[in-house]
A and B are shown apart, each in its own frame.
Chain A
Amino acid sequence: MLLDFSQLGWWRIALCAVAGVAVVFLLAPLCLLIALSFDSSQWLQFPPPGWTLQWYREVLADPNWLNSFLTSVELGIVVTLASVFLGLLAGFALARGNFPGREMLRGFFLTPMIMPSIVLGIALYATFLRLHLAGTFLGFVLAHLVLALPFSIVAITSALEQTDKSLEDAAMLCGASLWEARVRVILPAIRHGIFSAAIFSFLTSWDEVVVAIFMASPGLQTLPVRMLGEVRQNLSPDIAVVSSLLVLGTILLMGLTALFNKDSKR
């Protein structure tokens, strides 16, 4: 191949250097933040004058942080379940269906991906005000579902398209009804795609902040919304702690994904 790594000669060194700089550039702020979360000075001095776990104790004991954390988790789980379920229905329609306007529908389903989220946020807020959904959990779920669904649909549709339809036919000839065939044979065959859909849906909701600002009410705040509010008041060690915990959570989630992929590639 033209761009075979082993044939690049001294370009290899340059390439590695650029990659190294990029990694440092991307990781350095995160490392700084994690370091600050253990910083004994409450004014976020760097380098830290000493190390402490005090801020962690404070954050974990603060019911406000805990509340918004639980709100985010609950919201993420409900959005994920709904997104995967609807994604499956849409995926079967797009991958197996044969109806006029199918390609248009496929394109339409993806529009939330390219729509500026501020526009979506305003539009949803205006609509939900009229429907008395603004500031409710249901409104929050619906708003995040709009954002999460395209990822879920893409992942599931492409998994379905890679699965031979004869698999479904074979299951039906074995005596399974169409939906029995899909649940017992096709779902396990596309578990990969379903898992990606779930991860993407959860993450979409988990770190979404623009639309969430419009949906939030004083009693209903997701973690990112609360963090943003906190940062606007003052840059406290609390923020560094919460951020570090989020980084830890993300790493765990990625590890889980890698484990799952390794398992199902066998």
Chain B
Amino acid sequence: MSGAYLELRNLRKEFGDFVAINNISLRIQKGEFITFLGPSGSGKSTTLYAIAGFIEPNAGDVLLNGRSLVRVSPNHRDIGMVFQRYTLFPHLTVAENIAFPLRVRRRPKAEIEAKVKEMLDLVHLTPMRDRKPAQLSGGQQQRVALARALAYDPQILLMDEPLSALDKKLREDIQAEIERIHLETGVTIIYVTHDQEEALRLSDRIVLFNHGGIEQVGTGEDLYDHPVSTFTAGFIGNSNLIDVHLQSGFPHLPDGTKLYNYQPNREGAKRLMLRPEDLFLAKEGIPVQITGRTYLGDVIAYMVRTGWGQELSVRTQRQDSNLQAYVGDTVCVGFNHEKAYIIPE
């Protein structure tokens, strides 16, 4: 098979009798920005460490350019990594930290000097070159770590929640910087996070992990608009999930209402996903009672209860809502039947 730059093939890792990664397969293209997204303990870091070489898989293979990496020790894999915790070498200055991988490789002095300069420029830290890590802020430390990880032009850059210790504003600044660096260097990046916003913002494709397996792989839009499972629908963004019954290809709501959205070749009980922003208050549709109303400036968020007792969340743009409704009112909730998405699982 051609095309895949980095490939995980049926990768499996057990700790005792606990399965941390369960037969994962994944193909990544050169230059892609991939994020591993998923709840805590779902196996993201373990997979990353298996790629880096710190964890030996029980079964399966990691292939780079078609060559197996499993027998290659971490120092020969030519992979860069930024860790969640600060891992700058405390006794070395910023410049010496960045030079470290090049010194280990015994590169000529002039080349090292030039590369350090280039990297400091890349992460905008030239004025800090002679500081020790303890004299830097958390964000600056992670940027130096990034520079160090890129100094030897690795084939792949791994990042394990590098920004999780930083506050929101700083995180966004460095996210922008990482995006820019990805564009400038073209390095293949695998980025672990459990922040869906970060994943949606940064990545070309998202790999959603769940219980040691891959739930779904796709662009942010794929995952948001076409989740393959209830888990994806619930993990990416907010969603209303309504149990529907498919009869002769048409979904029926619990109260019997027929939706005009033909689903060929499907029968039986299914799940309908409706994003809160796809719903609106209307004169006709599903009759509901309003149980909560929150004014959020440009958006008004409603909680409504349906006739069959389910709470739905509705978000309407303020200028769109020609219908004013308050807690206790009985109204209807409408949506575009063609856009109604049935989760295939």
Residue pair B90, A189 in contact (C-beta under 8 Å) = yes
Residues of A within 8 A of B76 (CB): 175
Residues of B within 8 A of A189 (CB): 89-91
Residue pair B83, A166 in contact (C-beta under 8 Å) = yes
Given contacts A166-B83, A166-B85, A180-B104, is CB(A173)–CB(B91) below 8 Å? no
Interface flags, A133-165, vs B, CB<8A=1, else 0: 000000000000000000000000000000010
B105 within 8 A of partner (CB): yes
A185 within 8 A of partner (CB): yes
Taken together as a complex, chains A and B put the C-alpha atoms of A185 and B104 apart, in Å, by 12
B138 within 8 A of partner (CB): no
Given contacts A169-B83, A176-B104, A180-B104, is CB(A188)–CB(B75) below 8 Å? no
Given contacts A185-B89, A188-B91, A189-B91, is CB(A170)–CB(B74) below 8 Å? no
Residues of A within 8 A of B87 (CB): 164, 166-167, 169-170
Residue pair B152, A174 in contact (C-beta under 8 Å) = yes
B81 within 8 A of partner (CB): yes
B149 within 8 A of partner (CB): yes
Residues of A within 8 A of B77 (CB): 173
Residue pair B75, A173 in contact (C-beta under 8 Å) = yes
Considering only residues 176-216 of chain A, those with a C-beta below 8 Å from chain B are 176-178, 180-181, 184-185, 188-189, 191
Nearest A residue to B106, CB-CB? A175
Partner of B148, one of A172, A174, A184, A266: A174
Residue pair A170, B83 in contact (C-beta under 8 Å) = yes
Interface flags, B149-164, vs A, CB<8A=1, else 0: 1001000000000000
Taken together as a complex, chains A and B put the C-alpha atoms of A189 and B134 apart, in Å, by 13
A171 within 8 A of partner (CB): yes
B260 within 8 A of partner (CB): no
Nearest B residue to A174, CB-CB? B101
Q: How near does chain A come to B162, taking the closest CB pair, in angstroms? A: 12
Residue pair A176, B75 in contact (C-beta under 8 Å) = yes
Taken together as a complex, chains A and B put the C-alpha atoms of A69 and B300 apart, in Å, by 86
Residue pair B74, A169 in contact (C-beta under 8 Å) = yes
Taken together as a complex, chains A and B put the C-alpha atoms of A199 and B217 apart, in Å, by 57
Residues of A within 8 A of B79 (CB): 173
Q: How near does chain A come to B214, taking the closest CB pair, in angstroms? A: 24
Given contacts A164-B85, A166-B83, is CB(A177)–CB(B91) below 8 Å? no
Q: Quick one: which of B83, B87, B148 has the most chain A CB within 10 A?
A: B87
Chain A contacts to B: CB under 8 angstroms: 164, 166-167, 169-178, 180-181, 184-185, 188-189, 191, 266
Interchain residue pairs with CB less than 8 A apart (22): A164-B85, A164-B87, A167-B89, A169-B52, A170-B81, A172-B74, A173-B75, A173-B81, A174-B75, A174-B101, A174-B148, A174-B152, A175-B76, A175-B104, A176-B75, A176-B104, A177-B73, A188-B89, A188-B90, A189-B89, A191-B91, A266-B132
